[in-house]
Amino acid sequence: MDPIAAYRRGLELIRQGAGEDAILHGCGAPMLPSLGLVEIMRVSPDVAPTLMPRSGDLSQPSQLGARLAGAAREFLHARWWVNDPDCIIVRPDVEAREDWAAHIEATGGLRGSSDPLAALDEWGLRTTRRLMVPTRTDPS
């Protein structure tokens, strides 16, 4: 069995074990081989509190890398799966937090926050509340 077939068979076994009602979330998973086997897929590298990755490599955690990859893969939302653009981070020490919030607001998909609520200022709390709502389910 070739590697892609083995991967797909593994996901099929996970699906079988978890049951048809389970929702599988691919995160860091190969996209094309996961098609039809996951309901949610991370479509970007991890977000970080910094705009640029410390290493300079856009595949590493940063807002810029996550925004670029997420925007380029936005067309997949509601066509192949529910996109996961990564979590909402809007606490005061997050660089360019307004830009990251605008990216999350513009994309469809999974919504989650990783900020401790106590770390949010008034703008951050208001923005988190606004963004933590279900998003569109139709392709744009």
Taking only the tens place, the pLDDT of each residue in 67-81 is: 999 999 999 999 999
Distance (Å) of CA 120 to CA 52, 94, 105, 109, 115: 22, 11, 18, 23, 7
* Averaged confidence pLDDT in the chain: 95
pLDDT at res. 139:
80
How sure is the predictor about 138, in pLDDT bands with cuts at 50, 70 and 90? confident
How wide is the angle at C-alpha 64 spanned by C-alphas 60 and 67, nearest 5°? 105
Please say whether the beta carbons of 90 and 101 come within 8 A. yes
pLDDT at res. 137:
81
Lookup result for tokens 């389970």: 22
pLDDT at res. 113:
96
Taking only the tens place, the pLDDT of each residue in 79-136 is: 999 999 999 999 999 999 999 999 999 998 999 999 999 999 999 999 999 999 998 8
- pTM value is 0.91
Please say whether the beta carbons of 45 and 29 come within 8 A. no
Which residue intervals of 49-89 are DSSP H helices? 63-72
pLDDT at res. 14:
97
